[in-house]
Chain A
Amino acid sequence: MKQIIIFIVTLVLSLSFTNESFAQDKKDMDVFEVTVAGLGCPFCAYGLEKKLKDFKGLKKLKIDMETGDVSFHYPSTKNLSLVDVESKVDHAGYTAMTAKVTRFDGAIEEAAQVTISDEVDMQNLSKSTLYVEGTCKMCQARINKAVKSVKGVADANWDKKTKILSFSYDSQLTDKASIENAVVEAGHDTQNKSASAEKYDNLPACCLYDRIKREN
């Protein structure tokens, strides 16, 4: 009799545990999808994977190195926000281009994408270039995103080989100095300004360019 009771209790407990796990897998998980730019170097890309594992409870993490598509499931009870995820990616030195979460109840949230400001007046467009230090595709993604985030910028492209940033902007909305500041804030030295040591040290391994030496 005692054995039968133990068996029934064990069965009930294990069933409830299985149901709970099942529910968590199927019902109570939010699904995050992020596109990260420039995941070319395996050492850095796999490093991003390690950083994301800091989100305790994360499941089904997938990273496609070629497309930069990152996805994972996360318990909805923890209320992880897109901002938290983007911030994690950015603080790890990577560049999130798009971010989306499908909540367990089907609701979809998407992060605002960096797009050219509607306010740019093509009549006021100025073109310019700037020397910017960097090393790889991840640097390219970070620099381009930082510049395109400045209100009034119409286009930006940093060339990995020449290290020249070419950009165009509405001169009534912004200026070259503001754009240069955005680049420096992203952790990259320019021909005129240096990024802070903190910003530089936060870059992933493959982005650690040789710093520009300046005379005081």
Chain B
Amino acid sequence: MKGILKCIGIVSGLLFILSACSESKWEPNETILLGETTPIGIATLQDEIWLSDGNNNRLVQIDNSGKVIGQPIDIERPMHISSDDKTLYIPSYGMDKIIISDGKSLSDSLSIPMELDAPAAVDISGQMKAVADFYNHRVLFFNGSEWIEIGKKGKSNGEMHYPTDLQFFGDKLYVADAYNNRGQVFDLMGNHILTFGEDLGFNAATGIFVNGEHIILTDFENDRVGFFDHDGNHLYWIQEGLSNPADVGEVNNKLWILNFGGKYITVLEK
């Protein structure tokens, strides 16, 4: 009798773990078609959803159905954008600048004491700013008082090969080290903490998104997105129906995967 109870206990425990695991997995649930828009980056400005449309040299605001709202903002090769309460920050790959906008027009550019060569991403968190400087194989980071340089060309930990995206989360900076085919994590002093995804066959890790639950890295050429825990352990892939995923964003508690090649968004829900 004792043995049977023990067995039931173990089975129940396993079932509980299995159900917990399946509950935490994101699944594709909806596709939002974007017409001519080729999405590379996403940011929300209060309730507004903004996409950078790289091929068409513009920034567009869309609604939840993917329809463009208002007039697009013309800008040369906008890449992975970011926002704070009132402002959009747009890396212009062609102009080598980070352009500032209120969502209506372009105003100024971010003052950075180093020369950029094809900025591919920007992120802002309070006083902190970071820029992925693609052709210089580095990240430029403003820690609130000064700009510092993180990384140089190479494959070792802390080095980079064409970084294309980045994001602050908590007291860390997460970087998509695109053509080293991996992600890297740094502290706010610029020290390397973690490298992940290195042995998973990424072919251009172009976009990164971090929330309290996961680190998510897009695998552009392999048409898939990798989910990791915060220790860099790989959990699972989303690959159904993806086409050159360039970035991931969070809108209304759902995850939006931007399919650059397919010109649509794959919405993930739990």
Interface: A205 (CB within 8 A) = yes
Interface residues of A in 60-98 (CB under 8 A from B): 65-66
- Bits for B235-249, please: 1 = Cβ < 8 Å to A, else 0: 000000000101000
B168 an interface residue at 8 Å Cβ cutoff?
no
Contacts of B77 in A (CB 8 A): 42, 46, 49
User: What CA separation (Å) do A208 and B203 show in the bound complex?
Assistant: 10
CB pair A208–B179 under 8 Å, yes or no, is yes
Chain A hits for B261, CB < 8 A? 40
Q: Provide the bound-state CA to CA distance between A65 and B206, in Å.
A: 18
B106 to chain A, nearest CB (A): 19
Please tell me the size bucket of the interface on A.
10 to 19
Once the chains bind, are A40 and B94 in contact (CB under 8 Å)? no
Residues 36-53 of A, flagged 1 when their CB comes within 8 A of B and 0 if not, give 000011110011011000
The smallest C-beta distance from B88 to any residue of chain A, in angstroms, reads 19
Q: Does A206 contact B (CB under 8 A)?
A: yes
Give chain B nearest CB distance to A115 CB in angstroms. 30
Report chain A residues within 8 Å CB of B178: 43, 205
Min CB–CB distance B251 → chain A (angstroms): 22
Cβ of B118 < 8 Å from any Cβ of A? yes
| Chain A CB within 8 A of B260 CB | yes
The chain A residue sitting closest to B180, CB to CB, is A208
**Contact residue among A43, A46, A66 (Cβ-Cβ distance under 8 Å from B206):** A43
Chain B: minimal CB distance from A67 (Å): 11
Number of interface residues of B (CB under 8 A): 25
Within 8 A of B (CB), among A121-136: 135-136
Cβ-defined contact, B94 with A42, below 8 A: no
Instruction: Assess whether B161 is in contact with A46, with CB atoms less than 8 Å apart.
Output: no
Contact A50 B118, CB 8 Å, known A40-B244, A206-B221, A208-B179 = yes
Query: Quick one: given A41-B204, A135-B221, are A65 and B120 in contact (CB under 8 Å)?
Result: no
Q: Tell me, in angstroms, the Cα distance from A49 to B203 when the chains sit together.
A: 23
| Other A-B pairs beyond A42-B246, A135-B204, 19, CB < 8 Å | A40-B244, A40-B261, A41-B204, A41-B220, A42-B38, A42-B54, A43-B134, A43-B164, A43-B204, A46-B77, A46-B94, A47-B118, A50-B94, A50-B118, A66-B55, A135-B203, A136-B221, A205-B178, A208-B179
17 A-B pairs with CB atoms under 8 Å apart are A40-B221, A42-B38, A42-B54, A42-B260, A43-B162, A43-B164, A43-B204, A46-B94, A47-B118, A47-B135, A65-B55, A136-B221, A205-B161, A206-B179, A206-B204, A206-B221, A208-B161
